[in-house]
Amino acid sequence: MPIYTAPGSPAQARIDAIKSFLSLFSKKTQVEFSFSRSPQTDGRVVWLGDLDADNPDFEVYAAGHGIHEMMHVYATDWSALGAKRLSSFEQALVNVLEDVRIDALGMQMYPGYAAYRYELAGKLQQQGRLHVCSHPAALGACELFCVWIHAALMRSLQAPWALERYEAFASEIGTKMDADKLSRALEMASTAYQAADTGEIISIARKISRLVTAQAPQQSADKEADNGKPESFEKALKSTDRAELSRCLGLLDQAPPKQSRQATGPQPGSPATGSGYAPAAASPGRVTLWRADPNVPETSWESESYVAAFSGKRGELARLTQAFESLLEAKRESKDEESGDDGAALSSDFLSRIAARDSRIFTTPAENRAPDGAVEILLDRSGSMGLEMLTSAKLAVAALMTALCGRRGISVEAAVFPGPSKAPVSIVLQRGDSLSLGLERMRSVNSYGGTPLWNALEWGLKQLRRERSQVRLLILITDGIFPAQLLRDAEKTINASGVEFAVISIEATNSGLARNQCNVREPGEIAPALLRLIEKTNARQRMTRFA
């Protein structure tokens, strides 16, 4: 159901209309509305986020968050929350269960409540800002448990994000805890729908906490290791600290507060992602060639700025291309001529060969062997990259593309992620395409959305598996923050497929993501880092061995 928006109205008129609309959800006339902080309320002030009232979808974000917070104003007992001493894990559970109770109550009282909430959730999911967008294995114990509970309960309320992502989290947590405990915990949590008040929600949370953190029967270390260490997971839940609790609350913001306007797309120049990572939950759409469609905000947001920035760097692109061409220049290993028993011309030393009774007195041109290589380049274009960083990365990738296209025997494909319409990627240069088409597409690539790393890697690996080349190289350039072990596991899978993996990590504290990795912080460091990265690969050595 489309939500009514008024992009043609003055900003103040839109703000006043939202305040008037939200006031209908509570009889408390003293509620103050503030367009700051992340969406939340303390019962007296409702913070709606640092929203831009000139944004076309202002009403979707303001109303979608606002009706939920106003239901908290209406139905949450703040005195009950303040009176109870709760552990961090219990607080996280209360936050989830009270949100479910509030949403269920809102849907019961107001027929349009779900439409506003799910329209908002769809946009936040598309931007990778919901916890449910995360790869389940990337989450800590408390966050994983709470996201699983939340998705399980919201499935019954037909939340699209929960219907889509629940199975992934259920599968992951099933490896961490006893199935019977999980079933009992979910049964307890399900009573939140009919809970009379916040006090009852607190009681439910405490019961669940006692159940899942109860001491399991003692067993040997070997046996515990064999069954996936459920006790370790339960201990982690019990020892949840304030930092972990903080991660469980609110959104997975992809930019600092002043940039998280929750608009249809991030502002250009926004810095790298904050804590947490969002691999883009979406059921992947159809992968297509990149095109800046003016009717699709994901591809057209500030597109003119990105085109101008890239086009203004032609000189730098030419210089970088020369550097990559020099790096990829083949070393001649074969001779210009080969001797044989027959041929079109006599060899220069035929008299000596006759004297030595060597019949190889004729020459033929030596056969020059070409390399047999395939390269896949994946470039992160998420909202946190911003104009300057993404432009520098685009120039480096475009230069590498150009140099590779000039090498006989090497095919190259380049793609950016996320793609539009929830596709994991969008292809900039397809194998067999002319280089000019690829460069033209690269010009308009903009910064937008979350970081669907896992979808992109799976797609890139699938593309290379189709290639029968002897040398295959997958290059990843991203500013996402990811658990090192998970990307190392991905590298093992990639290497097991006979593909070499190389990573550039931008503005992040990532370390040990891959055997071949470079970390950079400034836009000007990207191209030199990519040159160093390529130089260190076994693929380059093998692809430059022949001429």
DSSP output for 428-490: EE-TTS-HHHHHHHHHT----S---HHHHHHHHHHHHHT---SEEEEEEEE-----HHHHHHH
Give the best-scoring range by mean pLDDT among 161-175, 210-224, 240-254, 342-356: 161-175
Report pLDDT for 84.
72
Distance CA 402, CA 409 (A): 14
Identify the pLDDT of residue 341.
63
Instruction: Please state the rounded mean pLDDT for residues 449-477.
Output: 89
Say if residues 504 and 520 touch (Cβ distance below 8 Å): yes
How confident is the model at residue 119, as a pLDDT?
A: 87
| Chain mean pLDDT for the chain | 81
CB count, 10 Å around CB of 4?
A: 8
**Given a cut of 90, is residue 267 above it in pLDDT?**
no
Give the integer Cα–Cα distance in Å for 47 and 532.
47
> ∠ CA(428), CA(545), CA(338), 5° rounding?
130
Q: Name 386's Cβ contacts closer than 8 Å, sequence gap at least 6.
A: 266, 267, 268, 269, 270, 271, 447
Query: Which class in CATH covers the domain with range 297-326+370-543?
Result: alpha beta
Six-digit token string for 80 = 């009950």
Q: Tell me if 279 sits within 8 A of 483, measured CB to CB.
A: no
- pLDDT category at 509 given cuts 50, 70, 90 is low
Measured on CA atoms in the order 240, 241, 246, 249, is the torsion positive or negative?
positive
What pLDDT is attached to residue 213?
A: 87
Q: Is the pLDDT of residue 284 over 60?
A: no
**Which comes out higher in pLDDT, residue 422 or 512?**
422
Preceding peptide of 279 cis, ω within 30°:
no
Residue 111 vs residue 286, higher pLDDT? 286
Where is mean pLDDT largest: 51-55, 133-137, 220-224, 375-379?
Answer: 375-379
Lowest-pLDDT range, 182-196, 283-297, 376-390, 513-527?
Answer: 283-297
Pick from 168, 156, 208, 204: nearest CA to 185: 208
Residue from 117, 12, 125 nearest 61 by CA: 117
- Closest among 64, 34, 63, 60 to 49, alpha carbons compared: 34
Among 12-21, 32-41, 227-236, 528-537, the least confident range = 227-236
Report the pLDDT value the prediction gives residue 65, as an integer from 0 to 100. 92
pLDDT band, very low/low/confident/very high, at 52 (cuts 50, 70, 90): confident
Of 124, 13, 22, the C-alpha closest to 70 is 22
The per-residue pLDDT for 268 is 32
pTM for this prediction: 0.49
The token pair that represents 366 in the structure block: 């030596």
Q: C-alpha distances in angstroms, 532 versus 475, 504, 525, 540?
A: 13, 10, 11, 11
Residue 92 has pLDDT above 50, yes or no: yes
Write down the pLDDT at residue 264. Answer: 31
Q: Which pLDDT score, from 0 to 100, does residue 383 have?
A: 80
373-423 pLDDT, tens per residue?
999 999 999 887 889 999 999 999 999 999 999 988 899 999 999 888 778
Sequence ranges of the domains in the chain: 1-75, 78-110+132-248, 297-326+370-543, 335-368
Taking 70 as the threshold, does the pLDDT of residue 342 lie above it? no
pLDDT band with cut points at 50, 70 and 90 for residue 222: very low
Q: Taking 80 as the threshold, does the pLDDT of residue 371 lie above it?
A: no
Give percent of the chain above pLDDT 70: 79
Query: Phi and psi dihedrals of 289, rounded to 5?
Result: -70, 145
Instruction: Report pLDDT for 277.
Output: 29
Contact 410, 543 (CB under 8 A): yes
Distance, first Cα to last Cα, the chain? 60
Strands 337-340 and 426-429: unpaired
At residue 291, the 3 state secondary structure works out as: coil
Tokens read off for 251:
């959104």
**pLDDT, mean of residues 365-369:** 54
Q: What's the angle, vertex CA 184, arms to CA 181 and CA 186, rounded to 5?
A: 110
- Higher-scoring residue by pLDDT: 293, 229: 293
Answer whether 286's CB lies under 8 Å from 270's CB: no
135-146: per-residue pLDDT in tens?
888 788 999 999
